[in-house]
Amino acid sequence: MSRKSRKKRRKKGRGPSPAVVPRDFEIRFERLDGARWRIPASGSMRVDGIIHATDRLFEVIRDDQSPRQVASVATLPGIVGASIAMPDIHWGYGFPIGGVAAFDERTGVVSPGGVGYDINCGVRMHVLDLEADEVARHAAGIADAFLEGVPAGLGSTNPGLRLAPDELDAVLVRGAAQAASLGMGTDEDVERLESRGCIPGADPAAVSARARERGIVQLGTLGSGNHFVELDRVQSVLDPEAAEAFGLREGLTILSIHTGSRGLGHQVCDDFIRVMLEASVKYGIELPDRQLCCAPLGSPEAERYLAAMAGAANFAFANRQIVARMALDALAGHLGRRSIRLESTVLYDVAHNIAKWESHPVAGRDRRLLVHRKGATRALPPGHVELPPVYRAAGQPVLIPGDMGRASYVLAGMAASGEQSFSSACHGAGRLMSRSQASRTTRAGHVVKSLRESGIEVRAASKSTLVEEFPGAYKDVDEVVEAVRLSGLARPVARLVPLVVLKG
């Protein structure tokens, strides 16, 4: 093979071919109850697949390729319980988006396909001491202020926040706390973040030079696609007791941030897919899909990936912390209320794409597991020791964004989710159309006009984003949340509706 051919293979992420075996399992569905469906284990599947969905959602899901991915994940070594799919499931790289799988610490594996390219893509919400009616009166100007004040879009950079190499190392290790130390937030903010905004075990040395190069100019930026800055109105309170604990009431304004680890996280995933392809060969792991390439937990390859992934996750926590502060400054500047920065409280910040060491009940006893959540949200129950004291009685805030034209939700974790889903819930509405399908369906001008007629001001870094992310491209978030409620994974606390949206 020529040098040019070898370089081309490396660039495409193609390593030695692991043992890809025929998919010998059968995809058939059995109804368990009103919102759960089982794919019984067959062939090389080690556990069942479980899909959480209402009848209406299941009719869409069953015709997608994602159930086959659920079954494929069930073949991986050391998987525990079941291969789980949330109601917002759709096809993804390796694991389905909306997939959850936990692996035994002794016999299991870690797979970059179970985390995804946008490591710790997630959502952060602030409760503002600001009436939504005031936001509605100034919506167009606020939207312009967001567009000017928050770097957004594909390849966007933040020239005002260029990091020295040692400063980037600190972000990779400390996450949101490092952003707070730079004046972008407070220690009180950090207390209300998942894992306090820092995944332990990060090692900057495990992050490649190319990943660092991409990340060093992108801290404090909003990604493209479905990433956003949004102001919402609390339209209705559905659980008054939990809403009081969360500081929510009807008519208040919520600031939501959805972004992740940007190019740094993407590069970490890309780097380690090559490593894991080689590891799958080295350790003799047979796969039904090479996108499920993985390494045994405890192996050097797995340890390096987890160290790099933790660094990327911490970068994402810091990124959301900084983007939130930039958005608050833009909002305050437009309204002439500089004190608004002091009048906002972090509700919570959740990771959607992550692999984390956690303890969960399995067959009546707690086990230490590596839980992969790809397009899924942690949903800890009331009383869990990892929750901030202020949320112990209510359960973890579970932040579920809809599309830019329809509702979002705040939920609370429930005890049943521990046995059913390793304390996990959905992460959003979930795509109904691919981006290319959406692009053939509508035009950017029509999207802007339609949203404005609904009382929503939208701005975007590109017209293509508006088209790819238009409301019809997504499932009905009300139906998705109903499935989660029926399954006992999380309970609705408040329904939010959008007023101002900035898309990346």
For the annotated catalytic residues, the residue numbers are: 427
Q: What is the DSSP letter of 163?
A: P
Look up residue 300 and give its amino acid: P
| CA–CA gap between residue 387 and residue 350 (Å, rounded) | 12
| 349-to-71, 176, 240 alpha-carbon distances in Å | 30, 10, 21
Closest by CA to 481, choosing from 415, 419, 422, 406, is 406
| CA–CA gap between residue 221 and residue 120 (Å, rounded) | 14
| CA–CA gap between residue 410 and residue 190 (Å, rounded) | 19
| CA–CA gap between residue 232 and residue 495 (Å, rounded) | 10
Count of CB atoms within 10 A of residue 351's CB? 27
Residue 492, CB-side half-sphere exposure with 13 Å CA sphere: 22
Burial of 484: CB neighbours in 10 Å, binned 0-12, 13-18, 19+: buried
Phi, psi at residue 299, to the nearest 5°? -75, 160
Rg (Cα) of the chain, in Å, rounded?
Answer: 21
Phi, psi at residue 218, to the nearest 5°? -115, 0
Token duo for residue 174: 């400390």
Give the angle 412-199-273 at the CA atoms, nearest 5°. Answer: 105
End-to-end CA distance of the chain: 41
Longest dimension (CA), the chain: 67
Closest by CA to 232, choosing from 401, 100, 66, 394, is 401
Give the angle 266-269-270 at the CA atoms, nearest 5°. Answer: 85
207 contacts 172 by C-beta, under 8 angstroms: yes
| CA–CA gap between residue 47 and residue 41 (Å, rounded) | 5
